[in-house]
């Protein structure tokens, strides 16, 4: 299992830096210092490897976000900490990563949307409820509706026809989305609480 996990981790680092399409099995083999034959003992082909790499990342990412939520002092703090976590990921990601996944691995992208985005939506629902209970978010916000809108907005950020990579930076887009989202939820008490908080 140590060898398999090493392959998963090193492949993830490579595709984050160069994108999925640009990374070959030879590149992965050289990076790890093992033969392609060894890689094929664990993974049938590149598609299978990439699928497990992304599944592995989703599992880790959801665990990290769950830990952040537990440690956050309140709903506003939670949203900002999770956003900073996502920004670190986006800033280390090749601009072509999402595009490659959507174009060349549509089944994997579908899995990301159904599994990970469901987790994100549930996270937003719970954050809104928490913020309302704490008195920082407006009581008239419907958590179910807002969470679905949030997920659709994330999908729009990844849409090359709306936000082409040549013109927009993904991390800047995400910062704008989170700022728009949080400010729309805050009531007067929440605005006072959040006035000095910044998403960097």
Is the pLDDT confidence value at 199 over 80?
Answer: no
Q: What's the maximum distance between 2 C-alpha atoms anywhere in the chain? A: 61
Of 162 and 200, which is predicted with more confidence? 162
Could you tell me the pTM of the whole model? 0.87
Of 90 and 130, which is predicted with more confidence? 130
CATH class, domain 57-194, is mainly alpha
pLDDT at residue 91, as a whole number: 85
Identify the DSSP state of 34: S
Radius of gyration, CA atoms only, the chain:
19
pLDDT at residue 1, as a whole number: 63
**Domain range annotation of the chain:** 57-194
* Contact status, residue 174 vs residue 199, Cβ threshold 8 Å: no
Whole-angstrom distance between the N-terminal and C-terminal Cα of the chain? 37
Closest CA relative to residue 52, chosen from 12, 102, 93: 12
pLDDT in tens, 107-144: 888 888 888 889 999 999 999 999 999 999 999 999 99
Is the pLDDT confidence value at 197 over 80?
Answer: no
């Amino acid at each position: 299992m140590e060898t398999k996990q090493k392959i998963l981790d090193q492949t993830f680092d490579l595709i984050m830096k160069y994108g999925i399409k640009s990374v070959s099995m030879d590149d992965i083999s050289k990076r790890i210092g093992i033969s392609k034959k060894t890689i094929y003992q664990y993974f049938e082909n590149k598609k299978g490897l990439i699928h497990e790499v992304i599944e592995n990342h989703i599992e880790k990412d959801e665990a990290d976000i769950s830990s952040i939520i537990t440690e956050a002092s309140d709903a506003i703090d939670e949203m900002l900490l999770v956003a900073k976590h996502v920004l670190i990921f986006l800033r280390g990601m090749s601009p072509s990563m999402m595009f490659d996944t959507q174009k060349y691995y549509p089944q994997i992208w579908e899995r990301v949307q159904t599994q990970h985005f469901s987790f994100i939506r549930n996270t937003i629902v719970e954050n809104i409820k928490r913020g309302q209970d704490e008195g920082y978010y407006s009581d008239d916000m419907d958590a179910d509706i807002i969470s679905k809108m949030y997920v659709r907005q994330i999908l729009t950020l990844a849409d090359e026809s709306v936000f082409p990579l040549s013109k927009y930076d993904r991390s800047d887009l995400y910062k704008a989305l989170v700022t728009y989202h949080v400010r729309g939820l805050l009531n007067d008490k929440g605005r006072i609480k959040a006035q000095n908080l910044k998403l960097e």
